[in-house]
Amino acid sequence: MYSHFNSMLALCRERDWPLWRAICAEEQELSGQSEEKIFERMELRYTIMARSAAAALEAPQPGHTGQPTLITGIAQAQADYAAGGRTLCGPMLNRVMARALSCSEYNASMGRICAMPTAGSCGIVPAVLLTLEEELSLPHRKVLEALIVASGVGAVITQNATVSGAEGGCQAECGAAAAMAAAGAVYLMDGTPEQSLTAMSHAMINVMGLVCDPIAGLVQIPCAQRNASQAVNALLSADLALAGMTCPIPPDQVLDAMYHVGRSLPTALRETAMGGIAGTPAGQAITREMYGS
């Protein structure tokens, strides 16, 4: 079937298929499951995403030990700000950010999330798809198709590069999630398969080189804030592609570049909490306060 983005596009052109159909056919071949069963699985995952994207909007989520996390209450604050109406980015983008933050906050409290593609980047795809479903009054089936598009993009990234922050930096986690969400968002706007993968490329290029530097080694700061920012990156990348902006670098080569950059990052900048903001005096002070000297 396909193993790279170029062969995925070739399959869509050859059979005149939308992107989700090609990806679903690949999953059917690999898993032996019917299309109906695959959509049932997508529905289950989307339900989990929706719950995590809403959980922290109305009530702060405490740590699982009963102690506050570093990000308790941030999603509710963002949601309240969005509801206030006076924002710089507008209410929709602020709702996207709030939902992304809610997933991160819920994850930090040991709530059930859907890794998309990782726990550290779990808020990006849900925030984008849920908000577009709401804003555009989209048929639910189409949103599940977009989730398949996002999943297929993530599968190619995983097969040919990495989604591990420890291996490729945050560009490989939140960057990959932004790329997945961007492709799904283009599909929801009736864009072509080529435009979906162009949006994927823009999103990945926009975050190229982003380090993984979690304070105290916790998937909280700056992970939560990057979930919010990369959800917005996904939407702007989708709009760039839908407006007709092409990418001169083929998507497979963009992915190769991301992987090469990630492997080139020093160890201190790959999820070790030794560099970046985790290595600042304030970041180290937080670590000592949480774990002792």
Residue 271 has pLDDT above 70, yes or no: yes
What is d(CA 158, CA 153) in angstroms, rounded to the nearest whole number? 9
Max intra-chain CA distance, the chain: 61
- The pLDDT value given to residue 239: 98
pLDDT, one tens digit per residue, over 257-268 is 999 999 999 999
Residue 16 has pLDDT above 70, yes or no: yes
Q: Look up residue 101 and give its two tokens.
A: 């933050």
- The pLDDT value given to residue 269: 98
pLDDT, one tens digit per residue, over 25-37 is 999 999 999 999 9
Residue 219 has pLDDT above 70, yes or no: yes
Share of the chain above pLDDT 70, in %: 98
pLDDT, one tens digit per residue, over 180-212 is 999 999 999 999 999 999 999 999 999 999 999
Do 152 and 19 form a contact (C-beta atoms < 8 A)? yes
- The pLDDT value given to residue 66: 59
Do 278 and 213 form a contact (C-beta atoms < 8 A)? yes
Cis peptide before 251 (omega within 30 of 0): no
Residue 64 has pLDDT above 80, yes or no: no
